Amino acid sequence: MKATTLPAESGADALQASCRALAERARQAARELAWVPSERKNRWLLAVAEALEREQDSLLRANAEDMAAAPQRGLNAAALDRLKLTPARLQAVAQGVRQVALLPDPVGEIRGGERRPNGLEVCKIGVPLGVIFFIYESRPNVTVDAAALCVKSGNAVILRGGSEALQTNLALTQLLRTLLARCGLPEDAIQSVPTSDRAAVGYFLRWPDCIDLVIPRGGKSLIERVVAEARMPVLKHYDGNCHVYVDAAADLDMAERIIVNAKCQRPGVCNAAESLLVHANIADIFLPRIAAALQQHGVELRGCPETCRRLPGITPATEEDYAQEYLDLILSIKVVHSLEEAIEHINTYGSHHTDAIVTRDLQAARLFAQRVDSAAVMINASTRFHDGFEMGLGAEIGISTDRFHARGPCGLRELTTYKYLVTGEGHIRE
Ligand SMILES: NC(=O)C1=CN([C@@H]2O[C@H](COP(=O)(O)OP(=O)(O)OC[C@H]3O[C@@H](n4cnc5c(N)ncnc54)[C@H](OP(=O)(O)O)[C@@H]3O)[C@@H](O)[C@H]2O)C=CC1
Ligand SMILES: N[C@@H](CCC(=O)OP(=O)(O)O)C(=O)O
């Protein structure tokens, strides 16, 4: 299918029929892609990396169209920055694709097995999930990252990026598809939803016969809609209300470095810290120090009464603050009187995404790691490390706080499942 937008006058029936045809093509492409040798997929990845650099001018032109329309759509500075492509950013995307080519292929990977006493061989092998429906924000680099991960893991993907990035995404998808065909891979393994009409999202969510998994990456209302309507499994996180707990036995220099990084390095992403817990034994010394460091970075502090007593002038925190994902330079602070109180607070107000302890006490670190119920627990490290690349997965399509089928950063392996291969020599069951 040519990657163009549907005419505005297309009616609901025409839109649904077009989406259905697209989904069926994705299903067929997934069947073909499932057992393509790694070398061919890697050849495609390397061709993509090269083309992103070579076709830079036309890609930047498409992006300029989106950027020109963005102010009328009310995009703020952070959103504009996410939308914008530059030569350097395209090069970074190309580099990411080259890295995916170097990663081991999870398809066909032996994940365990044994020879049974009767001689039967039981083997567990990695296989693709099938067709992934990926809904994401207006961030064109994500289009390429997601397509690269899906194809390398043998999956077809239906991309539904933010409407503000439509022209850029269509240009990127066109390029990715042309190269699929050139490398002998099914072109329909990558398709974009050819309309920004949100009704189309609802159609895809109703077709579990064509779509095996939906990954919504965006704000809470998107995720809630997808969870309510999807008839196939959803991989997601709602929000990232991440904590740093500074224990009584913390190295305070280390604690300061970690908190400043977790809060300030990139406040608008899901693994940034939103709340700081400080043990009462060190609060007198540590709170003024960390407040000064954070305020230097422009962070607004909102504290519990014990924090406000030590930091006069800051805003008192409310219950809502403790549950809030600010995605901004704001931090709630609470003084706690024990490790147990810190753990209880995190498990009550947190979003089970990423939570960190800073301590030199091994026992405290162990207890925190065992009892904090989050997808990633950091010991003496910034919450910002909850990322597929940083954690050694090569790249990620998103982060999951679900318990099935994957938790934490989702890379190539998380985009696959497995099947059993049982080999006998005429074995029959007694
Ligand atoms: N907690 C987190 O991890 C994240 C939080 N956010 C926050 O969410 C807010 C909005 O950010 P933004 O990036 O625009 O994310 P959105 O959730 O608004 O949009 C992400 C994608 O989902 C689509 N979408 C949104 N709502 C629906 C819906 N009801 N039905 C169908 N499709 C939908 C959008 O399409 P369309 O183009 O039509 O808008 C876009 O493609 C910001 O405050 C941002 O910081 C964003 C990303 C992650
Ligand atoms: N793992 C990423 C953050 C993930 C990300 O962008 O998340 P989100 O805020 O959900 O879009 C990183 O640290 O770069």
Among candidate residues 273, 286, 332, 268, the one with its CA nearest the CA of residue 305: 332
Helix (H) or strand (E) holding 341: helix 339-349
The backbone torsions φ and ψ at residue 240, rounded to the nearest 5 degrees and listed phi first, read: -115, 85
What's this model's pTM, rounded to 2 decimal places? 0.94
Q: How far does CA 280 lie from the centroid of its chain?
A: 35
271 lines ligand 2 (CB under 6 A): yes
Length of the chain equals 430
- Looking at the DSSP bridge assignments, the partners of residue 4 are none
State in Å: Cα 23 to ligand 2 middle.
27
Question: For residue range 301-322, what is the model confidence (pLDDT) as tens digits?
Answer: 999 999 999 999 999 999 999 9
* Per-residue CA distances from 341 to 207, 277, 322, 348, 354 (Å): 45, 10, 14, 10, 17
Atom 40 of ligand 1, residue of closest alpha carbon: 162
The backbone torsions φ and ψ at residue 374, rounded to the nearest 5 degrees and listed phi first, read: -125, 160
Is the pLDDT score of 227 beyond 70? yes
Distance in angstroms (rounded) separating the CA atoms of residues 166 and 228: 26
* Mutate which of 269, 325, 389, 391 for ligand 2 pocket (most atoms within 8 A of beta carbon): 269
Is the pLDDT score of 427 beyond 90? yes
ipTM over 0.90: yes
Question: For residue range 100-156, what is the model confidence (pLDDT) as tens digits?
Answer: 999 999 999 999 999 999 999 999 999 999 999 999 999 999 999 999 999 999 999
* Per-residue CA distances from 125 to 94, 111, 122, 131, 194 (Å): 30, 6, 10, 19, 35
- 101: number of Cβ within 10 Å: 19
State in Å: Cα 78 to ligand 1 middle.
13
Question: For residue range 385-424, what is the model confidence (pLDDT) as tens digits?
Answer: 999 999 999 889 999 999 999 999 999 999 999 999 999 9
Is the pLDDT score of 78 beyond 90? no
> E strands along 339-383, which residues?
354-358, 376-379
State in Å: Cα 244 to ligand 1 middle.
26
329 lines ligand 2 (CB under 6 A): no
The stretch 250-270 carries a mean pLDDT of 97
State in Å: Cα 303 to ligand 2 middle.
26
Task: Give the chain's end-to-end CA distance (angstroms, integer).
Answer: 53
Question: For residue range 347-379, what is the model confidence (pLDDT) as tens digits?
Answer: 999 999 999 999 999 999 999 999 999 999 999
Q: How far does CA 236 lie from the centroid of its chain?
A: 8
Enumerate domains of the chain plus CATH numbers. Answer: 12-236+409-421 (3.40.605.10), 242-390 (3.40.309.10)
